Amino acid sequence: MYFFNLKALLLDLKHNNVTERESALYVLIPIILMMLYSYYLQQTDSLESLANNVIIIINFIILFIVNGGNNGKNFLIKYFSLSWVVGWRVAIFYLIPFTFVFFGLMYFVFPDYLKHDTHGLLIFGIAFEVFYLFFMIKAFRATLQKVVIAYD
């Protein structure tokens, strides 16, 4: 199971070397983490929840189409394994720096708005999903190429 090595995962997916056990782990571990997260999560805004659910469904459909739609192969294995690795990479390399910039701007530009902010987190979540979708599309396309490109 990979955490950050996207190039090795792309090669394994391309050559169908992801085992059933690994596939199950790529599904099970995020589900367990989401369950633990939701247990400690405070009540979220209904607009935020609705927007997140719609974005997740749209991302899923877009990635299904990028994979070849009905003619695609191994979509769920690709989806869950790439979601895990790309999710970690996006969270660490893009989300953390974006967090500092976003909240830094909010603090200096709109300091009073932060106290009553409900839409800032919605914008923040949408920005994460856009970054995530961009890199997932790039990874899905890499699995469809005859030669796996160097992916950094």
pTM score of the predicted model = 0.71
Burial (CB count within 10 angstroms: exposed 0-12, middle 13-18, buried 19+), residue 117: middle
Using an 8 Å Cβ cutoff, are 27 and 80 in contact?
A: yes
Buried b vs exposed e over 74-107: b needs ≥16 C-beta within 10 Å?
ebebbbbbbbbbbbebbeeebbeeeeeebeeebe
Q: pLDDT digit of tens for each residue in the chain (152 aa)?
A: 777 788 888 888 888 888 878 877 888 888 777 766 666 666 556 666 777 778 888 888 898 999 888 888 888 888 888 888 888 888 888 777 877 877 777 777 766 665 555 666 677 777 788 888 999 999 989 888 776 555 55
> What tokens does 116 get?
């009553």
